């Protein structure tokens, strides 16, 4: 497929997603001459055809416009291509969701995995710093160069009262970043609006102290056996390091045990492949841990909308046995009953207390989602979930499909009794979820205390 046709598809895709309006535009550096780039003539993006694509030099002069009008703000593209040889595609848009972040002191945060690139930094740019009394448009090379300096080495730059400009090493990546910058902005505004009463509920299961297994004592490595040990000391008055009366402790644990923890995407693999096809043998080692997809990627944690499905209150499931698996039809029935819709970036939980005597029964333990729900989670773009059931044939099927196939974070071992009680009392089934794992290099998971804020 030609670069020109890629641009046509990019323009129409961005328009379809509502990221660019009639005045937004996408470009691509020429694959034949890096001192040239391609962009459409001045036409609404949803109407772009291959015949509309023009070639420009890096001073943003069209090579052969043949009388056709060109975009006033083409200088955004030319000056960024000059400043950033690594950039191969650019999207300038006027996303309505992003503009409030460009005009206020509220920073964009990457609140779900598809917008992780925001963690590389998204600076702001104010045209008033380059020119007083402008019409806000980047109409010349001087303004374009000023914007390129503000962008620096980042993946995007916010433009006060205007929109944003997104860059990448390919057209698909630039389109994806533009879409998910918009989605992230909407989700972040939604999440910030969820905390209304200030009621905070912990989803953490209390840590139980369990001795270290002999296998781990022997080699210091994990062996799939849960344990948690803690040892204390109060320093004496003559402590040689000057800490008299100071009390401290050393804690050791296997992170993927019975405690509430967040799984990194590198925690599970299928046939030697991690999420996005990264080879397990080249990505995870016993010396460095995960070189990709580790929890240290979540530097700003997870801040998003959480939704609780309470099967004990679902009218259409009244005759179902406690602890039964939850199916996609149940989720959609709950959406209708609660007046909610699970959307891209949400964290989804199910409360369904198992029948007394069932294996694993206990406070806060759930019947969980049936494994068939995984395709539904993918279709809705769920970013975080918990309680997906494995199957008898493969007790890791839940982790394999959720982590390695979908790239959805798993919160294991959450306790939902108090969350269900609070949601029922407030008659609110959505909340602000905050999960902040420590930034441990290469980590496959972390013990966390997820907080739901109503």
The whole-angstrom separation of Cα 438 and Cα 447 is 9
Do residues 162 and 24 touch, judged by C-beta distance below 8 A? Answer: no
What is the distance of C-alpha 414 from the center of its chain?
Answer: 20
The whole-angstrom separation of Cα 269 and Cα 401 is 9
The upper half-sphere exposure of residue 89, i.e. CA atoms within 13 Å in the direction of its Cβ, equals 19
372 to each of 328, 377, 396, how far by Cα in Å? 8, 9, 14
The single residue of 73, 79, 268, 430 carrying the catalytic annotation is 73
The whole-angstrom separation of Cα 190 and Cα 184 is 10
CA nearest to 63, candidates 79, 85, 78: 78
Q: Is the dihedral of CA 133, 134, 140, 143 positive or negative?
A: positive
Backbone angles phi, psi at 187, to 5 degrees: -65, -40
Asked if 73 is an active-site residue, the reply is: yes
Backbone angles phi, psi at 436, to 5 degrees: -125, 85
**Cβ within 8 Å of residue 161, ≥6 positions away:** 99, 102, 103, 136
Mind telling me the catalytic residues? 73
């Amino acid at each position: 497929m030609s670069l020109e046709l890629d641009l046509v598809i990019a323009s129409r895709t961005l328009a379809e997603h509502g990221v660019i309006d009639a005045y937004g535009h996408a470009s691509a550096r020429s694959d034949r001459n890096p001192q040239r780039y391609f962009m459409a003539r001045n036409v609404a993006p949803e109407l772009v055809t291959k015949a509309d694509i023009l070639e420009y030099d890096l001073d943003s002069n069209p090579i052969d416009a043949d009388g056709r009008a060109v975009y006033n703000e083409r200088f955004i593209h030319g000056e960024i291509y000059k400043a950033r040889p690594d950039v191969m595609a650019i999207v300038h848009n006027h996303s309505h969701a992003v503009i409030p972040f460009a005009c206020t002191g509220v920073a964009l945060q990457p609140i779900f995995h598809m917008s992780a690139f925001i963690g590389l930094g998204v600076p702001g740019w104010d045209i008033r710093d380059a020119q007083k009394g402008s019409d806000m448009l980047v109409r010349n090379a001087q303004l374009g160069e000023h914007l390129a300096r503000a962008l620096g080495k980042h993946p995007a730059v916010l433009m006060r009262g205007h929109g944003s400009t997104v860059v990448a090493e390919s057209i698909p990546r630039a389109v994806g970043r533009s879409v998910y910058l918009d989605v992230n902005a909407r989700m972040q505004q939604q999440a910030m609006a969820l905390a209304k009463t200030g009621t905070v509920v912990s989803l953490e299961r209390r840590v139980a102290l369990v001795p270290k297994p002999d296998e781990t004592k022997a080699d210091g490595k994990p062996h799939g056996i849960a344990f948690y040990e803690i040892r204390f000391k109060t320093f004496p008055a003559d402590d040689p390091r000057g800490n008299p009366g100071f009390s401290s402790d050393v804690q050791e644990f296997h992170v993927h045990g019975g405690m509430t923890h967040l799984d990194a995407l590198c925690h599970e693999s299928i046939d030697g492949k991690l999420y996005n096809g990264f080879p397990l043998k080249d990505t995870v080692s016993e010396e460095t841990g995960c070189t990709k997809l580790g929890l240290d990627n979540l530097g700003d944690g997870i801040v998003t909308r959480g939704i609780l499905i309470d099967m004990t209150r679902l009218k259409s499931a009244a005759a179902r046995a406690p602890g039964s698996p939850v199916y996609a039809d149940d989720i959609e029935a709950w959406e209708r009953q609660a007046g909610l819709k699970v959307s891209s970036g949400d964290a989804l939980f199910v409360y369904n207390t198992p029948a007394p005597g069932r294996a694993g029964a206990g406070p806060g333990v759930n019947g969980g989602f049936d494994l068939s729900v995984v395709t539904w989670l993918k279709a809705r773009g769920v970013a975080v979930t918990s309680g997906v059931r494995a199957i008898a044939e493969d007790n890791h099927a839940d982790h394999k499909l959720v982590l390695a196939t979908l790239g959805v974070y798993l919160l294991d071992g959450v306790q939902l009794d108090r969350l269900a009680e609070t949601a029922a009392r407030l008659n609110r089934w959505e909340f602000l979820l905050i999960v902040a794992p420590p930034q441990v290099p290469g980590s496959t998971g972390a013990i966390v205390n997820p907080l739901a804020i109503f």
